[in-house]
Amino acid sequence: MSAYADRLEALVADAADRCTGCGKCFEVCPTAREIGLDAGEAKARVGELLDLARDGGAAADGLQKWLNACDGSARCSDACPEGINVRQWVTIAKMKALDVARPREVGAANAANRFRHMAQAVRLLASMQLPSETLKKILEPAERRTAEILFYTGCNVLRTPHIVLNVMDILDAMQLDFDVVGGTSHCCGVYQFQEADLPTYERMGHRTFQRFGQSGASKVLTWCPTCTKNFDELEKDVEEPFFDLGHISEFLAANLETLKARFVDQPKRRVVIHEHLGIGATVDSIRKLLGAVPNLELVELVQDSGFSYACGGQAAKFKDREQAIHRALAEGAVAAGADTIVTMYHSCHRALAGAEAAYPLRVVNFTDVIAEALGRGGHPDYYRLYKAGGPMDEAVAAARKFLASNGVRVDEASVHSLTADIFNETGLAGSRDSFAQAFTALAKEG
């Protein structure tokens, strides 16, 4: 067993030692309820989790169902009277149970396929929306950076790269010494961990985290909620780094006075934040930030914010629940007289960006709002145009220019695959035909 795997074992052993078996974590688990597991059997399920922690081997049936259902919501950790990070425990237990349930090569092949598919989509979408000098800057190796602050994007936000440009604008307006780093060569290794391919995880996610340290940065600001959760629970808790680690929204909220001093007049808006609990203080931070923007009124809506820490990802297996969350949000926002939905994360932004096709609402990310309040931002959100299904001329013209700048060509097969990637995700969207037809025509240009 590697030194890293030993440390994961130590985290699990510590949780098991502290656990009293009260069952509160299982009682509050929203995904256990979603698949029909009985809250009355909480002590039995936790007993099985304790057995797995102490004896290893295969998970008992009931426990295996719980582990499979988990989407990382962290309601369990919040409910634990002993202050145990139950989500972390469940995440490691799930990986270990999977490792004994099938040959490691099967998990390694699954992880490689998932990574390859994601990398292809990210590379193409980023090349359609960003100039090559910006993309190269983001992809440059972390260990070669020299700035005090590293803004770490992760991989998937590059599908909606205007968000990255907004954050760069914000940090720039704050006159900070920062570098931006991300892309698939700096992956957090989530697929490898989820598929129990620990050796490859160590060469990817664990290595990415070490590269942050090699840059000499004193602070690493994360964007992606999954990367934030993984690095927090599978790296920082395993070995304390020399740098501070935290989500960009928390950092901006902590520097609110600096931002407020630079805010300029804004148009009147009534906004609803699409909220997800489960990642640090991100909800409170974004509420604090938006609450300080001139002329912006926060409209309160009761939301299903505890079901998952973000749209998509592990929550994607609960399509009906996600669909209901998206519809209730849009309908609730309209009924409450809001004109804008503000998204927290990129996967939520992708899910909701097409709401404009069906509802009198604008959908923006919180970084759009903050960057614009600083007199910056205004970067076109091409992904929103794809999803809304309206005229595609602007998006195609931009893609033609950026693809040439990046030396990337699209063919009809890749447009077909990208169309499925964009429109098969749960969420609100206009017609997929507008995107498919316009970008197939672009591919035919050769």
Chain contacts with ligand SF4 (rule: CB under 6 A): 19-25, 29, 31-32, 46, 70-76, 79-80, 82, 84, 86-87, 90
Least separation in angstroms between CB 47 and ligand SF4 = 9
DSSP calls for 169-230: HHHHHTT--EEEE-SGGG---HHHHHTT-HHHHIIIIIHHHHHHHHHT-SEEEE--HHHHHH
- In the bound state with ligand SF4, the residue whose beta carbon lies nearer, of 9 and 297, is 9
Question: Residue 308 and residue 71: Cα distance in Å, rounded?
Answer: 6
Question: Residue 437 and residue 391: Cα distance in Å, rounded?
Answer: 11
Q: How far is CA 24 from the centre of its chain?
A: 27
- In the bound state with ligand SF4, the residue whose beta carbon lies nearer, of 24 and 362, is 24
What's the full length of the chain, in residues? 446
- In the bound state with ligand SF4, the residue whose beta carbon lies nearer, of 279 and 396, is 279
Closest CA to 226 of 35, 124, 74, 116: 74
Least separation in angstroms between CB 31 and ligand SF4 = 4
Burial class (CB in 10 A: 0-12, 13-18, 19+), 210: middle
Close Cβ partners of 30 (under 8 Å, ≥ 6 residues apart)? 73, 75, 306, 307
Least separation in angstroms between CB 165 and ligand SF4 = 32
Least separation in angstroms between CB 266 and ligand SF4 = 36
For residue 180, count other CB atoms closer than 10 A to its CB.
Answer: 23
Q: Looking only at Cα atoms, what is the longest distance across the chain? A: 65
CA distances from 438 to 195, 394, 419 (A): 37, 11, 11
Residue 245 near residue 227, CB atoms below 8 Å: no
Least separation in angstroms between CB 21 and ligand SF4 = 5
Assigned token pair, 146? 């020299």
Residue 230 near residue 206, CB atoms below 8 Å: no
List, in sequence order, every residue forming a beta bridge with 272; answer none if it has no partner: 341
- In the bound state with ligand SF4, the residue whose beta carbon lies nearer, of 66 and 209, is 66
- In the bound state with ligand SF4, the residue whose beta carbon lies nearer, of 19 and 164, is 19
Residue holding tokens 């630079």? Answer: 262
260 Rama class: left (phi>0) / alpha (psi -120 to 50) / beta: alpha
Least separation in angstroms between CB 78 and ligand SF4 = 8
Least separation in angstroms between CB 159 and ligand SF4 = 25
Question: Residue 311 and residue 308: Cα distance in Å, rounded?
Answer: 7
- In the bound state with ligand SF4, the residue whose beta carbon lies nearer, of 19 and 163, is 19
Least separation in angstroms between CB 390 and ligand SF4 = 37
Least separation in angstroms between CB 187 and ligand SF4 = 22
Least separation in angstroms between CB 102 and ligand SF4 = 21
Question: Residue 265 and residue 288: Cα distance in Å, rounded?
Answer: 18
For residue 87, count other CB atoms closer than 10 A to its CB.
Answer: 24
Close Cβ partners of 5 (under 8 Å, ≥ 6 residues apart)? 198
- In the bound state with ligand SF4, the residue whose beta carbon lies nearer, of 26 and 423, is 26
Burial class (CB in 10 A: 0-12, 13-18, 19+), 418: buried
- In the bound state with ligand SF4, the residue whose beta carbon lies nearer, of 84 and 124, is 84
How many CA atoms does the CB half-sphere of 426 hold within 13 Å?
A: 19
- In the bound state with ligand SF4, the residue whose beta carbon lies nearer, of 87 and 349, is 87
Least separation in angstroms between CB 72 and ligand SF4 = 5
Phi and psi dihedrals of 342, rounded to 5?
Answer: -110, 125
- In the bound state with ligand SF4, the residue whose beta carbon lies nearer, of 45 and 376, is 45
- In the bound state with ligand SF4, the residue whose beta carbon lies nearer, of 195 and 372, is 195
